[in-house]
Amino acid sequence: LASASDDLQIILWDWASNQAAVAYDSEHRSNVFQAKFIPFSDDCKIVSCARDGQIRLAELHPDGSLSRTKKIAQHSASAHKLSIDNITGTDIFSCGEDGIVFHVDIRENKSNKILSVSSEPMNSLPLYSIELNRNNQNEFVIAGMDPYIRVFDRRYLDSVTAKPLKNFCPDLLVSE
Domain spans in the chain, listed from the N-terminal domain onward:
2-173
CB atoms within 10 A of CB 47: 24
Does the structure show a pLDDT above 80 at 77? yes
This prediction's pTM: 0.92
pLDDT grade for 86, boundaries at 50, 70 and 90: very high
pLDDT in tens, 14-66: 989 999 999 999 999 999 999 999 999 999 999 999 999 999 999 999 988 89
Q: Which CATH superfamily is domain 2-173 in?
A: YVTN repeat-like/Quinoprotein amine dehydrogenase (2.130.10.10)
pLDDT at 176 > cutoff 60: no
Give the pLDDT mean for 125-147. Answer: 96
